[in-house]
Amino acid sequence: MMLLQNRRHSVNALREDLMLRLVGPPMERDDARIRRAVAGKTVLVTGASFGQGEATARLLARNGAVVVMIARSVDRLAEVADEITASGGIAHAYGVDLSDAASVTSFADSMLRLHGPADIVIHNAGKSLRRSIYRSAQRISDMDAMVGANFTGPMRLTLALLPSMKENGGGHIVSIATAGLWLTPAAPRWSFYLGCKGGFDVWLRSVALEVKRDNIDVTTIYAGHIKSRMVATDWVSKSPGHTPSQAARVVAYAVTRRPRHLAPRGTGLIRLFGIVFERPFGSVLSLVDRRSSETAASDAAFQRAMSKNSEPAALTSTEAV
Ligand SMILES: NC(=O)c1ccc[n+]([C@@H]2O[C@H](COP(=O)([O-])OP(=O)(O)OC[C@H]3O[C@@H](n4cnc5c(N)ncnc54)[C@H](OP(=O)(O)O)[C@@H]3O)[C@@H](O)[C@H]2O)c1
């Protein structure tokens, strides 16, 4: 029985691996190449306390980068930094809330003073929210948290660091967007997430056109499912996806090759379809949405938040599915 279960497990794992190789964005599997790209470089990773950000910080530090990590969970961040240091890497951790302007500005000042200009900035931090618009109307503080983490925070940080990158002779900015933006122009219940991620994406791609001449490259990763706490309780968690360590290798691919964007392979046609047939595509999504209900996790998180009474602090990523 046990043997049968193990065999079924490995067949599933093989099938998932094959699928990711076929449709997932490419991963950098060559550590020597990563080392050549990052050794001795100062790399800022936002949202490095969990998930893809943590795995990226570990991978790049293991290959010689001086990693500067930020997130709100200071204890967790310090733990990751200590582990990196104990295994011979260099990591610095700072508690920063991207939705707090003063926190971002003060961090950027410290970063420039203590570590100098960033060679590579990885905008990984993000906050997800799948919720109907009528429920959102009752939870306006979540809107501010979403905008800060996904849009204004990363913009403010970029603005604070860009001049020093230019002065330093160039650099690379990597942003983690979502495949949702790549595949659909819009999607019901994802208005805040797609709106904020999309806003930053368009902003950064516009900036890219200006800073190219200063030797600053910009890459956007339209990431598919990453098996992190962000989607742990969502229906998405049941679909094939990258582990955080695999997702970190997608980021490493971006860092070593510096493409303009990375997206799930072979999805160009779906993207084109979505743009050309935007109305019927939207109608299908609305129909599916009308037939589906809130997920149990989303329902529970919403009820929890509402029972805490008027406008409690913003939901955590895990709750906000
Ligand atoms: N998981 C997926 O399926 C998926 C799919 C497409 C795109 N993405 C994107 O991939 C990126 C990484 O997500 P993940 O899956 O690794 O999720 P995760 O495990 O929840 O990590 C998110 C990170 O962002 C940080 N963060 C959130 N709000 C912040 C704020 N206001 N200030 C500073 N840091 C903040 C979190 O740290 P603290 O809570 O400690 O602040 C955490 O380290 C995100 O940008 C996400 O939108 C994820």
Is residue 165 within 8 A of residue 215, CB to CB? The reply is no
* Token pair in block for residue 79: 């733990």
User: Does 271 have pLDDT greater than 60?
Assistant: yes
How far is Cα 77 from Cα 47, in angstroms, rounded to an integer?
A: 9
pLDDT of residue 313: 42
pLDDT classification of 2: cutoffs 50, 70, 90: low
Q: Is 315 a residue whose pLDDT tops 50?
A: no
Cα–Cα distance, 220 to 199 (Å, whole number): 13
Which token pair is 70? 């930020």
The SS3 of residue 82 is helix
pLDDT tens-digit map of 118-146: 999 999 999 998 888 988 888 888 899 99
Range from 7-21, 43-57, 139-153 that averages highest in pLDDT: 43-57
Taking only the tens place, the pLDDT of each residue in 74-104 is 999 999 999 999 999 999 999 999 999 999 9
* Angle formed by the axes of helices 244-257 and 31-38, nearest 10°: 60
Residues with CB under 6 A from ligand 1: 47, 49-53, 71-73, 96-99, 124-128, 148-149, 176, 178, 223, 225-226, 228-231, 236, 317
Per residue in 209-245, pLDDT tens? Answer: 999 999 999 999 999 999 999 887 666 667 789 999 9
Q: How far apart are CA 258 and CA 298, in angstroms?
A: 37
The one-letter code for the residue type at 187 is A
Which run of H or of E encompasses 90? strand 90-95
The tens digit of pLDDT for each residue in 166-188 reads 999 999 999 999 999 998 888 99
Q: What domains can be seen in the chain, in order of their start residue?
A: 2-307 (3.40.50.720)
User: pLDDT: is 271 or 77 the higher one?
Assistant: 77
Annotated catalytic residues are: 193
- Side chain identity at 235, as an amino acid letter? W
Range name among 21-25, 38-42, 61-65, 145-149 with the lowest pLDDT average: 21-25
| Count of other CB atoms within 10 angstroms of residue 119 | 21
What is the number of other CB atoms lying within 10 angstroms of the CB of residue 84? 24
pLDDT tier at 265, thresholds 50, 70, 90: confident
Tokens of 297: 């996790």
Q: How far apart are CA 320 and CA 300, in angstroms?
A: 10
Question: Residue 3 has what pLDDT?
Answer: 63
pLDDT of residue 301: 74
Residue 48 CA: nearest ligand 1 atom is 43
Q: Which amino acid is at 52?
A: Q
Tally of CB atoms within 10 A around 27:
19
Q: For tokens 């990363």, what's the residue? A: 154
| pLDDT at residue number 318 | 38
149: DSSP letter: I
Average pLDDT, the chain: 90
- Ligand 1 centroid to Cα of residue 47, in Å, is 6
Where do we find the tokens 């791609």? Answer: 205
Query: For position 1, what pLDDT does the model report?
Result: 58
Residue-wise pLDDT for 14-26, tens only, equals 777 777 777 889 9
How much distance in Å is there from the Cα of 228 to the middle of ligand 1?
9
